[in-house]
Structure 1
Amino acid sequence: MKVVHLSTYHTFGGAAIAALRLHHALRGIGVESSVLVQQTEREEEGVQGLASGFIEKKIAFARFAAERAYFLFHEKDKSVRFHFSPLWAGTDVSAHPLVREADVIHLHWINFGFLSLHSLEKLFALGKPVVWTMHDMATFTGGCHYSRECERYLTHCGFCPYVRKPSATDLSSQVFEQKKKLFSNAPLTLVSPSRWLAELGTRAALTKHLTSLAIPNPIDTSVFKPASSSEIDLNPAKKWILFAGVNTQDPRKGFAYFKEATQLLKDRLEDWGIVVFGKTEPDALTDMGLEVKSLGSLPAHEVVKVYQAADVMVVPSLEDNYPNTVIEAMACGTPVVGFDSGGISEQIEHKKTGYVSQLYSAEDLAKGIRFVLEDADYEQLKANNLQVIRQRNSFGVVANAYLSLYQKLTEMPR
């Protein structure tokens, strides 16, 4: 079985990391898996970049710039600039050797100038089974990665809240029509890490005629695992609340609710602290109610140590598919508190591995943190996390689920 994964990025972003982990998991069970990306960020077996030379990299950047410039004329404001992908610019990879030799073509996150709608048309024309792991909603919308409260994708996109002049024939409507034609007879099977997104795929007007399955993202439990002692410089007398991958500028990530929740915990100032890593604005970390230790951007091996050192992680995203950070923490035995949103409530088993808080409630978020750090049998929570990850997200379990799907698709008459 030969499978080629198509992903814009090699290691940048959650979708790219999930795709790469699946590649490693499949190779671990004997599948001839390869990954084709815009350009590689390091030498890695089975991973190839389209752009390797100076000129090729400039052309790749030009495609990215052209894609963004095209949307620039339509965007509502700069806050949504990278939240909508019209799939206008891309390259034709249908003749690439990895694609030609593959039994199955596996799409991941392919936006920002890597593949266009025309690129997809060329791939579908090969007649090979195509699996598309949806890492956000963009597959079945007129371009937005997350629809927020808009449900027009269930009937027909238009009057889009992301564009400057919403109308029945705006950019989202035009992209919707192009996708409708493209998907009508495509040899396409949809997969989502979460049941939440898979179910939306079965309801969305563009994809309701397609099979939409849920297979969770994998995690390497030989890397993400508990540690006997902390290797991070944190006061051992305190319990530490982790906020991972901080992006205080994106309202969807719910940082404001986390900040309000920690202010409600200020009675534990002497006993608890907050540790953060990733993208953040220093001013945003003031008035948190508890001591804050910001570690900035970290390499992967240091990130694991932070998960191991933390006592609880909080993921207050208001809309998210299947954050890698949740299963990374769980694999290290660290309980997670998150909102009842998207696929997060599927990742966390309420009061068994962590706490699922009422959406938009900072009070319940704070209650969840108190539950983990004060009320629960912490060692039992930790043991439950490890068991769930082993049974649901380990490399072998996820790789075999995908292999079963590949085999079924390749045995079907074309």
Structure 2
Amino acid sequence: MKVLHLSTFHQFGGAAIAANRINQALNRAGFSSDMLVANTPVVEPFVTSLAQTPWQKRWNTARFALDRLTFMPFERNRDVRFAFSPALIGTDISHHPLVQQADILHLHWTSFGFLSTRSLSKLFALQKPVVWTMHDMWAFTGGCHHSGTCEGYQHHCGNCPFLRTAAPDDLSHSGWLRKQTAYQNARLTPVGCSQWLANRARQSSLFGTLAVHSIPNPLDTRVFVPIPKAVARWELKLPDHKRFILFAATKVSAVGKGFSYFQKALGLLRQQLTQPDDVELLIFGAGDESLLQELPFNYHFLGSLKSVQQIVTAYSAADLFVIPSLEENLPNTIMESMACGTPVVGFGVGGIPEMVQHQQTGYLVNYRSVEDLANGIEWVLEQSETNFNQLSENARNHVVMHYDETVVAQKYIRLYEQKIAPKSPKGDLDASDSGSKSPL
């Protein structure tokens, strides 16, 4: 059995990292798995770039630009420019050799000029089983990646809050109609990375009649392991006697990552601590360092970390990891931090409550509460050495039990086998993997 993963990006962004990790985990489990991406400068076994020649790479960039240009006239403002994808621009990969050879097509995040809705229709027309791991809500909305409080996806979209001119027949409704047409004859199995996302998909008008599964993203817990804090801090040239709060994001300034909440909570925290000068910040990610200069604690900015070992070292050096995201599915960063034995403080939103057990592996914060975010950070910092070590051990054990790549790979292999042999006995997936409704 051959599986082909389809992803716009290879290693950029959480969805791409998760897709790549699934591909790697399957290959390490002895399964035949490949990944086709729009373009990548990185050479890696079992990963193929659609853009091979200089002309193809330029055309890939042009498709991305065209995809964004199709949305700009409709966007409410620049803040939502990358929050909605009409998927009018893409390429037909249905005749690609890897697609033709695959027994199962496994979709991931495919927007931004890689696959349009029409491209998806051509893939579905091949009548191959399609597994779609949803890293956000886009697959079952009229175009938004996260709907927030809007529940239009449960009906037929329209009156979209992301659009400059919202109306019943706006861009989101036409996007919903295109997807409805594309999905009609597809042999499609949606998979949510979190139970939260799977439940939203089950409530949607596009996927509500399908059996929606829930399988988490994997992590190689042989790589993401705790390093003694003294060693990690020595490697990063950090003082060993300080307490370190870690913040990390692909783009620190991204609105959805909640940096403003983090900044305000730190202001309150400094007033609450009896020895605030003992606490410093550790920050890594892309973005403008000028954003950090008004933070009320000394900070160490590591920039974008490319090496996995550097990332492991950064997590291990910290006393806690703060993720004040306002919208999340199943963040890789939480998984990575906990695997390195570092407790997590974050808002109870999306799939985060499935990962962080309140006061057992970290602290779940009341949504958008700056005060509770400060309290959560303080709570972890004030733990005794014995209690902190237990928090750290609990965090590591939770990841090994639920997210280790060997566990996740086997769940996907069982799902693939079920899709290739649809007449096999039902119920061969455990309850955490499957929805309650029968597949079409």
Q: Which range moves more in the overlay, 297-306 or 13-22?
A: 297-306
- Provide Cα deviations, 1:395-414, integer angstroms capped at 9, x if missing partner: 10000011010001110169
SS in 2 for 1:57: helix
C-alpha separation in 1, matches of 2:250 and 2:285 = 5
The equivalences for 1:103-122 within 5 A come to 103-122=103-122
Q: How far did 1:281 drift? A: 3.1
Alignment gaps of 5+ in structure 1: none
The equivalences for 1:374-393 within 5 A come to 374-375=382-383, 377-393=387-403
- Among residues 297, 316, 322, which one is paired with 2:324 in the alignment? 316
C-alpha separation in 1, matches of 2:135 and 2:214 = 11
SS in 1 for 2:303: coil
Counterpart for residue 288 of structure 1: 295
In the alignment, structure 1 residue 298 sits paired with structure 2 residue 308: no
C-alpha separation in 2, matches of 1:38 and 1:250 = 24
Q: How far did 1:250 drift? A: 3.0
C-alpha separation in 2, matches of 1:59 and 1:288 = 42
SS in 2 for 1:270: helix
Q: Which range moves more in the overlay, 81-90 or 227-236?
A: 227-236
Q: How far did 1:246 drift? A: 6.3
Normalised to the residue count of structure 1, the TM-score between the two structures is 0.97
Counterpart for residue 353 of structure 1: 361
Aligned residues with identical type, % of pairs: 47
SS in 2 for 1:260: helix
Contact preservation (8 Å) 1:10, 1:41:
no
- Among residues 349, 367, 376, which one is paired with 1:341 in the alignment? 349
In the alignment, structure 1 residue 412 sits paired with structure 2 residue 416: no
Q: Which amino acid aligns with 1:207?
A: F
Contact preservation (8 Å) 2:269, 2:375:
no
Q: How far did 1:239 drift? A: 0.8
Contact preservation (8 Å) 2:225, 2:340:
yes
Counterpart for residue 45 of structure 2: 45
Counterpart for residue 332 of structure 1: 340
Counterpart for residue 232 of structure 1: 236
SS in 2 for 1:406: helix
- Among residues 345, 365, 370, which one is paired with 2:373 in the alignment? 365
Counterpart for residue 257 of structure 1: 261
C-alpha separation in 2, matches of 1:93 and 1:347 = 36
SS in 2 for 1:408: helix
Counterpart for residue 162 of structure 1: 162
Q: How far did 1:6 drift? A: 0.2
Q: Which range moves more in the overlay, 216-225 or 265-274?
A: 265-274
Contact preservation (8 Å) 2:5, 2:108:
yes
Q: Which range moves more in the overlay, 168-177 or 297-306?
A: 297-306
Counterpart for residue 431 of structure 2: none
- Provide Cα deviations, 1:272-324, integer angstroms capped at 9, x if missing partner: 11111112333322342221221111213322210111110000111111111
- Provide Cα deviations, 1:46-67, integer angstroms capped at 9, x if missing partner: 1101101111111111211211
Q: Which amino acid aligns with 2:364?
A: V
Between the two proteins, the alignment pairs up a number of residues equal to: 414
Contact preservation (8 Å) 2:252, 2:285:
no
C-alpha separation in 2, matches of 1:332 and 1:297 = 19
Counterpart for residue 193 of structure 1: 193
Contact preservation (8 Å) 2:21, 2:218:
yes
Contact preservation (8 Å) 2:220, 2:405:
yes
C-alpha separation in 2, matches of 1:107 and 1:348 = 27
Q: How far did 1:185 drift? A: 2.8
Contact preservation (8 Å) 1:269, 1:291:
no
Contact preservation (8 Å) 2:265, 2:371:
yes
In the alignment, structure 1 residue 93 sits paired with structure 2 residue 97: no
Contact preservation (8 Å) 2:125, 2:185:
no
C-alpha separation in 2, matches of 1:260 and 1:72 = 32
C-alpha separation in 1, matches of 2:160 and 2:281 = 38
SS in 1 for 2:6: strand
Q: How far did 1:96 drift? A: 1.2
The equivalences for 1:135-150 within 5 A come to 135-150=135-150
Q: Which amino acid aligns with 1:367?
A: N
C-alpha separation in 2, matches of 1:296 and 1:319 = 23
Contact preservation (8 Å) 2:124, 2:183:
no
SS in 2 for 1:375: coil
Counterpart for residue 127 of structure 2: 127
C-alpha separation in 1, matches of 2:190 and 2:132 = 5
- Provide Cα deviations, 1:208-253, integer angstroms capped at 9, x if missing partner: 0112111111111121111122121211111100001164543321
Alignment gaps of 5+ in structure 2: 424-439
In the alignment, structure 1 residue 220 sits paired with structure 2 residue 228: no
Counterpart for residue 31 of structure 2: 31
Normalised to the residue count of structure 2, the TM-score between the two structures is 0.91
SS in 2 for 1:278: strand
SS in 2 for 1:153: helix
